[in-house]
Amino acid sequence: MNPGADESLQMIKLNRRIAALKPSATMAAETRATELKAAGVDVISLAAGEPDFDTPERIKDAARRALAEGRTKYTPVAGMRELKDAIRLKLKRDNGLDYDVTEIMASAGGKQAEANIIAALFDEGDEVIIPTPAWVSFVAMVNLSGASATLVDCPEDAGFSLDPDRLRRAITRRTRGIILNSPSNPTGAVYSASQLGELAKILLDAGLWVLSDDVYEHIVYDGAAPHIFQIEPRLKAKGFALNSLSKAYAMTGWRIGFAAGPKEVIAAAARLQGQNSGNPNSITQIAAIEALTGPQGETRAMMEEFRRRRQLVVERVRKIPGFSLPNVPGGAFYVFPNISGLIGMNLDGREISDGNSFADLLLDAAHVAIVGGNDFGAPHHVRLSYATSIENLNSAFDRIESVIARLKR
């Protein structure tokens, strides 16, 4: 690069919050893997949480029809009426929750829905509780709103679940909300109905906004994941059900998700969406209607495949020296092993100091992409996605084992 240009770029004064914004660790890990693949390197990626299955044919057919019919114009900013009705149907069918159309906003992915709700609700001086380990973007979204994130540690030996006493202690007079995510990305922890009941009592008493990220609700291995608003219906008046079609219907690239909650906040978030991006893609909206209202068998079939992979991954991870995985994940398609046993070891002088440095080393030395736990709030862990074939998983673990065998203390 031209050094002069570089210097002038460094002098640009960015918005304070954007300047402090880090790249998304999950997206960055996947981008590095894609770049290496493009350069001809044989990389196996266990980085992004992205199902390897193609979008079901019935959904692609609906999109093809929509395109042929020329449904290529703007739609209402928060989504077309038929999509909102499909989302209502889904929330009733899958979660037993009733919503009005005015209480629903469709967005370009679950991420945009969550970011817009968080931006609409929280402000400088507010605190938002995030049980940790947590998905990397929650903290970033909260910080962008001006609020600060209160990370509440959920220890591995407690199954990575939020302890009610720790929750009580974390609530101050500034606390305005909490973000829950069950099944959890990255830990795979799933809250039971009784755990949710205990937490719900505290949240109701404290009058907090409850943001429930339900993205992995269908990828759950031991019976359905209960919804906190079903366990405590009074929470729904101050709650948001946040979701995406990315995982359940293998639609990551289509970018479609939604938020359901009190209409005043939905309207505010939709105003924001109207100013900074507009409606989610019109063809995608029509595909989403088919996804949500058509036969739901594909999601169950994908789930069964994830179950087979989970078994393999748990077995193989547990055999790797230096990795430990005390909890079998109950949902989602990630394992989140503890790599404390590798800290301080090195490969040809390159030291492993945390999850991120191990992930970097693995990418360089074994061409396996994983995500370090640092930005999930767990620097002694790494996240491996098993949303890839059994064959890829076996090769990835063979490579990981051969790198581990070369480590020295």
Check if the beta carbon of residue 387 is closer than 8 Å to that of residue 313. Answer: no
Give the integer Cα–Cα distance in Å for 182 and 188: 8
Would you give the DSSP letter of residue 235?
A: G
Nearest approach in angstroms of CB 140 to ligand GLU is 10
CB of 48 to ligand GLU, least distance (A): 4
Name the minimum Å distance from CB 266 to ligand GLU: 22
Measured from the CB atom, the residue of 137 and 143 that comes closer to ligand GLU is: 137
| Complex with ligand GLU: residue 50 or 127, whichever CB lies closer | 50
What residues between 44 and 83 interact with ligand GLU by CB under 6 A?
Answer: 48-49
Return the number of the residue (49 or 372) whose C-beta is nearest ligand GLU.
49
Pick the closer one to ligand GLU by CB: 231 or 317: 317
Q: Using DSSP bridges, classify how beta strands 239-244 and 371-372 pair: parallel, antiparallel or unpaired.
A: unpaired
**141 vs 265, beta carbon nearer ligand GLU:** 141
- Residue with token string 């219906």: 233
Instruction: Give CA–CA dist 116/234, Å, rounded.
Output: 23
Q: Does 242 bind ligand GLU (CB under 6 A)?
A: no
Count of chain residues binding ligand GLU (CB under 6 A): 9
User: Which one, 111 or 316, has the nearer CB to ligand GLU?
Assistant: 111
Q: Which stretch binds ligand GLU (CB under 6 A): 19-27, 314-322, 351-359, 400-408?
A: 19-27
CB 160 within 8 A of CB 326: no
The residue with tokens 């219907």 is: 249
- The span from the CA of 208 to the CA of 19, in Å, is 29
Strands 175-181 and 127-132: parallel
Q: DSSP for 274-294?
A: HHHT-S--HHHHHHHHHHHHS
| Nearest one of 392, 372, 386 to 313, comparing CA atoms | 386
Instruction: Provide the token pair at 140.
Output: 């970033």
CA angle 260, 217, 359 (to 5 degrees): 110
- Between CA 222 and CA 247 the distance in angstroms is 18
Among positions 155-214, residues that touch ligand GLU (CB under 6 A) are 185
By beta-carbon proximity to ligand GLU, the closer residue of 288 and 347 is 288
Q: Which stretch binds ligand GLU (CB under 6 A): 23-31, 151-159, 205-213, 360-368?
A: 23-31
Stretch that binds ligand GLU, among 21-29, 91-99, 117-125, 150-158 (CB under 6 A): 21-29
- What's the rounded Cα separation, in Å, for the pair 108 and 356? 29
CB of 117 to ligand GLU, least distance (A): 16
Compare residues 127 and 375 and give the one whose CB is closer to ligand GLU: 375
Closest residue to ligand GLU using C-beta atoms: 49
- Choose the binding region for ligand GLU from 22-30, 89-97, 217-225, 302-310 (rule: CB under 6 A): 22-30
Q: Looking only at residues 101 through 120 of this chain, which bind ligand GLU when binding is defined by CB under 6 A?
A: 111
| Closest of 399, 402, 409, 384 to residue 49, by C-alpha | 384
DSSP letter at 354 equals S
CA atoms within 13 A on the CB side of 320: 28
- Cβ 162 vs Cβ 138: under 8 Å: no
Q: Which is nearer to ligand GLU, 99 or 138 (by Cβ)?
A: 138
Shortest distance, position 339 Cβ to ligand GLU, whole Å? 19
For residue 185, the minimal CB distance to ligand GLU (Å) is 5
For ligand GLU, which residue of 27, 101, 202, 204 counts as binding (CB under 6 A)?
A: 27
Task: Using CB under 6 A, list all residues that contact ligand GLU.
Answer: 24, 26-27, 48-49, 111, 135, 137, 185
